[in-house]
Amino acid sequence: MLSVVEYGQGAPLIIVHGLFGSARNWGVIAKRLSDTRRVIAVDMRNHGSSPWAAPHSYDAMAEDLAEVIGAYGGVAEVIGHSMGGKAAMVLALKFPNLVKRLVVADIAPVAYSHTQQGMIDAMRSVDLGAVATRGDADRLLAKVISEQGVRAFLLQSLDVKARAWRLNLDQLEADMAAILGFPDVPGHFDGPVLVLSGAASEYVTREHRPEFKRLFPAARFAKIPGAGHWLHAEKPREFEAACRAFLDAEAQK
């Protein structure tokens, strides 16, 4: 089963990170939401402490998540960001009885044309044999990535002592087309869905709404002002408040 980090008690809420992320990226938000729920943040396959496995497809990731939910009572609320949002959508479409409520953070059920290959190349460029501290790794990574925030995010997946990335870069590279795409999943999920995007992000547009509505008829849409794609990191309190308001309101119906 996937590696997980648990917080709190009560009905389960699964948090699913995006590409190159991990459960630890979500620690602050998970802890805050755990005041009324049992929050389970997962490491997706080929990330963090979870097994390395092929393929890195959304069908496989959805089955991984179904296994986790099965271990926590068989039904859960789910929050998924980016790649994790796509995996959560496929989970809801394939196993609708497992998902009570779904928050999709800044991603649409469509194929994207950009690539994340540059991030893989950047991580591979770091001479891990020359890394004794995280600062060493940051200085090496700075040669190819100028944005400090991006470097800090990637370096959360570096095991400095082991001098190794906690990411299966080879598998992620091999399946990049599938990660950027979205599978053709029959059916639809009729449960409550909040599509929460960053107002400054271009990942979710009005043109995506018909496809959301086809697959998720009850989908509602909201934006966080001033936030980009990494809305949970850029505006954590606003993100938490929006998720809490949606999940709690739906739970009371």
* pTM of the predicted protein model: 0.96
Domain boundary among 137, 166, 195: 166
Q: Is residue 173 part of a domain?
A: no
- Alpha-helical runs (H) found in 73-184: 83-94, 117-125, 134-141, 148-155, 169-174, 176-180
The domain spanning residue 52 has which CATH number?
A: 3.40.50.1820
Q: Are residues 191 and 80 in the same domain?
A: yes
Q: Are residues 77 and 155 in the same domain?
A: no
Q: Are residues 92 and 129 in the same domain?
A: no
* Six token digits for residue 142: 């700075």
105 beta partners: 81, 196
Q: Are residues 25 and 141 in the same domain?
A: no
Q: Are residues 24 and 144 in the same domain?
A: no
Q: Is residue 36 part of a domain?
A: yes
Say what the pLDDT of residue 61 is.
98
Q: Are residues 162 and 221 in the same domain?
A: no
Q: Are residues 70 and 107 in the same domain?
A: yes
Say what the pLDDT of residue 114 is.
87
Q: Is residue 171 part of a domain?
A: no
Q: Is residue 189 part of a domain?
A: yes
Range of the domain at 125: 117-166
Q: Is residue 172 part of a domain?
A: no
Burial class (CB in 10 A: 0-12, 13-18, 19+), 225: exposed
Q: Are residues 99 and 130 in the same domain?
A: no
Say what the pLDDT of residue 250 is.
75
Q: Is residue 186 part of a domain?
A: yes
Q: Are residues 46 and 103 in the same domain?
A: yes
Q: Is residue 174 part of a domain?
A: no
End-to-end CA distance of the chain: 33
* Six token digits for residue 14: 């699964």
Q: Are residues 70 and 132 in the same domain?
A: no
* CB-based contact 47:22 (threshold 8 Å): yes
- State pLDDT tens for residues 57-86: 999 999 999 999 999 999 999 999 999 999
Tell me the one-letter amino acid at 236. P
Q: Are residues 108 and 203 in the same domain?
A: yes
Active-site residue numbers?
A: 82, 170, 229
Structurally, the chain folds into a number of domains equal to 2
Domain boundary among 104, 138, 166: 166
Q: Is residue 224 part of a domain?
A: yes
Cα separation, 94 vs 189, whole angstroms:
9
Helix (H) or strand (E) holding 8: none
Number of H helices, E strands in the chain: 11, 9
Say what the pLDDT of residue 149 is.
87
Q: Are residues 50 and 130 in the same domain?
A: no
Q: Could you say which residues of the chain have pLDDT below 70?
A: none
